[in-house]
Amino acid sequence: MLNKNYSKKGDFCRVTFKLSPDVQAKKASLCGEFNNWDQEQNPMKRL
């Protein structure tokens, strides 16, 4: 599940990802062309 919350000015957006407990992931990272698909650069944290 994905949730986006925009700032009042609209100059940034906070994105929250939710994974099912069935996934049982040890870690998750945000990867893409912006970080050259590096899985270590943008680790996500459990809330």
The rounded mean pLDDT for the chain is 91
Task: Supply the DSSP string of 1-47, one letter for each residue.
Answer: -EEEEE-TTSS-EEEEE---GGG--S--B--SGGGTT-TTTSB----
pLDDT of residue 34: 95
pLDDT of residue 40: 95
What is the rounded CA–CA span in Å between residue 22 and residue 36? 29
Q: Where are the domains of the chain?
A: 2-35
pLDDT of residue 9: 94
pLDDT digit string, tens, across residues 1-47: 889 999 999 999 998 888 888 888 888 899 999 999 999 999 988 87
